[in-house]
Amino acid sequence: MPIPKKLKEMLPEETGNSVSHEGLIANSLGGKVQPGSGSSQYAKGDVKSPFSGESILLTECKTTAKKSIRIQNLFLEKISKEAFAEQGVPGFSFQVNTSDSMCERTWVAVPLSVYKRMALVE
């Protein structure tokens, strides 16, 4: 079953490149794209967004035109350290190429401890 038309109209258009991916995440979460995709010494992560009160969500974004993506420990360790340094929460977003209308192209992952808080599970 395809995504309902009304819901599809509410979703931002995705072009598949990393710049649009970062913009999509920033716009979806009320955040901002970090200058230079976080390559600066002072602005780490690809996207910085408000999260639960005074905290921030620092998100690393990866995009591929392939039908799969390899999530390396290095990506998760990097964003975890950068988020910790800013007293924030790490996030990891990825986009894959899919032709399945039931599967969204853009996904976001967070550590289990954060996911439990989001789901209000004790």
Bigger pLDDT: 49 or 39?
49
Kindly indicate the confidence band of residue 111, based on its pLDDT and cuts at 50, 70 and 90: very high
* 43-83 pLDDT tens trace: 678 999 998 877 899 999 999 888 888 999 999 999 999 99
pLDDT, residue 42, reads: 59
Task: Determine the Cα–Cα distance for residues 96 and 64; give it in Å rounded to an integer.
Answer: 5
pLDDT, residue 11, reads: 44
pLDDT, residue 4, reads: 54
User: Which of 33-47, 52-66, 89-103 bottoms out in mean pLDDT, i.e. has the lowest?
Assistant: 33-47
pLDDT, residue 43, reads: 67
Q: Is 26 left (phi over 0), alpha (psi -120 to 50) or beta?
A: alpha
Q: Is 38 helix (H, G, I), strand (E, B) or coil?
A: helix
CB within 8 Å of 106: residues ≥ 6 apart: 14, 21, 24, 25, 93, 94, 95
The answer to whether 80 and 90 have CB atoms below 8 angstroms apart is yes
Instruction: Give mean pLDDT, residues 92-106.
Output: 89
Q: Is the pLDDT of residue 98 over 50?
A: yes
Structural domains in the chain, CATH included, are 5-118 (3.40.1350)
Percentage of the residues of the chain whose pLDDT score is greater than 90: 48
